[in-house]
Chain A
């Protein structure tokens, strides 16, 4: 596996895509939707930029050493 492939959102400490977490932080999601739906694919939230993104993105704020903020913002 190359370094470029490792340093993507999917392995970044800032990235959260656990369906239960997404349902907890996105108000109303379970009302007529779901975090477990196929249509979401593996998308999640980047807590560094407060943006939705997929696991294949990357940026210079990548952090894979476990020091990223773990608390919900």
Chain B
């Protein structure tokens, strides 16, 4: 493909690219998250079936109370970290190379990201970490934001800070740690609750925005960002309704701003309201705006449960969040896009750009990584279904599930750091007062409604999740 240069030197393609059909399998990061995530799960299953495990390479810093202990851990396990680093580097290079990223930019960026991730996870394993609220997701986010906004990093390093790719990989791996029966049991309630909140939140943002005099396409782009799946939804709906070029960056600014605020606020509020891990996770899943930010908040709340600061266990928060956000909200983006495209092309702007709504959009825009999440869950559930609880805890968990969970932790930390490292406040578009008011109206309604549904209407359901 021939390329030309923009005024600031960025390459722009001279022709459009297409990912329709089979090409999507290697040109979309959703599919690469599936290939890598399911690849890890299948290798883990094969080794487990042969009496072995991926545990050796799924190393993470151990609990420590003195620096000497931490040093001894690294001295005794450095080969495992080197092997793990090489593994991540190899598979990420393959995936990102296929997507078009340059290895000479990705490799140094990932070296930096991996070393920083070791530090972040090690901080979280300090036995006093909880005393000082040093939860790894929050530490990663703050460190990333400080580095990118106060010190500044070369922009080409962004090649290794792939927020969405890492979170999708982490969610596929998360599927391997959730029983498929749990998804079937809790999924319908998650879908019902998420649908109520999504429709109400979208309606509030849309109608407030229109009432304030904003263009309907910007209103829809803002509404989807607040109601469905954050930045991804804003981009999808911007395309579906033919939004102006400047509309999506406005929505992106508001989604990122509120999502970062909610990473800190929602776990704090949930703890102050004495919500259990499952209920808190469901509320976060209902009221966070992006998968990456939501996982950061849910994992923070799960860590609080692990330390006894809230009732329940750490897995409940992540499970409830994922069911609510991924199964309940994300998968419906195609339907939102189709419906809004239909409205836009039949009522708002007939034939302006010769566009029309296609039912196939429901599949085109489906967040495919969710399929990996479901398949990973199904695979592990089928393989482990013959074990008693005692045998599962003794043999299956330490050799199969726990190492996958540890690799998932790495993927999430890569993501949390990347959020901060790629969020440059000065680069974000100026949102303006009216879009801010419209979006914030939706945030207020969303948070209250999400709380009522999670902590009152469906409280028993979420409280008992994965107990």
* Contact with A53, one of B99, B164, B355 (Cβ below 8 angstroms): B355
* Contact with B16, one of A9, A33, A71 (Cβ below 8 angstroms): A9
User: Which chain A residues border B358 with CB–CB below 8 Å?
Assistant: 56
Per the bound structure, the CA–CA distance linking A43 and B358 in Å amounts to 13
Q: Is the CB of A31 within 8 A of B256?
A: yes
A-B contact count (CB 8 A): 210
Q: Is the CB of A42 within 8 A of B19?
A: yes
Query: What residues of chain A have their CB less than 8 Å away from a CB belonging to chain B?
Result: 8-13, 15-21, 24-34, 36-46, 49-59, 66, 70-72
Query: What residues of chain B have their CB less than 8 Å away from a CB belonging to chain A?
Result: 4, 6-8, 10-20, 24, 27-31, 99-100, 158, 161-165, 229-236, 238-249, 252-253, 255-256, 259, 289-290, 292-293, 333-334, 352-356, 358, 361, 364-369, 419, 422-423, 427-429
A30-B161, A34-B162, A41-B361 given; A16·B28 CB < 8 A: no
Residue of B nearest to A28 (CB): B252
Q: Is the CB of B423 within 8 A of A43?
A: no
Residue of A nearest to B29 (CB): A36
Per the bound structure, the CA–CA distance linking A59 and B428 in Å amounts to 31
Q: Is the CB of A32 within 8 A of B230?
A: yes
Q: Is the CB of A11 within 8 A of B235?
A: no
**Within the complex, what minimum Cβ distance (angstroms) separates A72 from chain B?**
4
User: Which chain B residues border A66 with CB–CB below 8 Å?
Assistant: 14
Q: Is the CB of B16 within 8 A of A34?
A: no
Q: Which of A13, A18, A25, A33 has the most C-beta atoms of chain B within 10 angstroms of its own C-beta?
A: A33
Q: Is the CB of B248 within 8 A of A16?
A: no
Q: Which of B30, B236, B249, B290 has the most C-beta atoms of chain A within 10 angstroms of its own C-beta?
A: B236
Per the bound structure, the CA–CA distance linking A53 and B29 in Å amounts to 21
A-B contact pairs, 24 of them (CB 8 A): A18-B17, A21-B10, A24-B12, A27-B249, A27-B429, A28-B249, A32-B290, A32-B292, A33-B230, A33-B231, A33-B235, A34-B165, A36-B99, A37-B164, A38-B28, A41-B364, A42-B20, A49-B353, A51-B245, A53-B355, A56-B356, A57-B354, A58-B353, A72-B12
A27-B427, A28-B429 given; A50·B244 CB < 8 A: yes
**Within the complex, what minimum Cβ distance (angstroms) separates B251 from chain A?**
10
**Within the complex, what minimum Cβ distance (angstroms) separates A17 from chain B?**
5
Q: Is the CB of B367 within 8 A of A37?
A: yes
* Contact with B239, one of A13, A38, A43, A49 (Cβ below 8 angstroms): A43
User: Which chain B residues border A11 with CB–CB below 8 Å?
Assistant: 15-16
Q: Is the CB of A41 within 8 A of B163?
A: no
Q: Is the CB of A30 within 8 A of B245?
A: no
Q: Which of B15, B161, B235, B366 has the most C-beta atoms of chain A within 10 angstroms of its own C-beta?
A: B235
Residue of B nearest to A23 (CB): B158
User: Which chain A residues border B368 with CB–CB below 8 Å?
Assistant: 38
